[in-house]
Structure 1
Amino acid sequence: MAQRGTQDLPPSGGYAQVKYRRYLPKRGPSGAVIFAGITAICTYGFYQVARGNLEKKELARENLWSRIHLVPLLTAEADRDLYRRTEAAKAREAEIMKDVDGWKVGESVYNNTKYFNAPSYVIVPEQQKSE
């Protein structure tokens, strides 16, 4: 037991120095390197998206113009098909109605003498929306 009135003091020359510093190896890249890497990846991604959008727009334009240039061909083909079907229908009508006196093949049973063929249009949009 310690005596009264005396204080505990360090040994002469002091205590040995406490080693408190930790020597841990660095783990991974620094924050600046990570930030630079993410920025580079995002920049490349946005560049690829922009290129893809331009390609998509060009393909849509090409598709539209190919349709515009095919309309006359398709219209002519539809007209030939309509004529062939009309002539076949007239031939069937002549065969069916051959015994009816006064029947005129191909004549309309309605009082309207106009022939109407629905036109087909290709609408070129001012600005095409991409989906």
Structure 2
Amino acid sequence: MSKTAYKQDMPPPGGYQSINYKRVPARTFFGGWAIIGGYIGMTAGAFYLYSLNYKAVKNRELEVHSANLALYPMLLAERDRAYLKQIRKNRDEENKLMANVEGWETGTWMGEPIYKTQPKDCFIEPNFYDYYVHSSYKDLKKRMITLNY
């Protein structure tokens, strides 16, 4: 075994520098009053811009709301009209399909009234599937998805 001389790491002559652990305060750009004044100024500016935008949005929404109120009765009437047209088409289609069946009376089941407690001339709203009975399956499916049936 040969002996090799190892050189150990030692501190530099005179020792290491002392570790600086004193508190170094952060540099201040603004004082407390400047920050409060800036906050108040920014808040006032933002409030002014908000009030300008609020007036414009309020006027726009007022016009849209007024238009909706004016059109709503017409849209309801058109919806009711389309509903009654579809019911009439269903009735006419039933008359056409059952024209060859003897004794068939539209709106009854084999000549027996479906609703015994209702007067004969009373309008009875059909259920969902009866309403779409003569429509295409595509229309029925689209409506079912829209209504989440």
TM-score normalised by the chain length of structure 1: 0.49
Structure whose CA Rg is larger: 1
TM-score normalised by the chain length of structure 2: 0.45
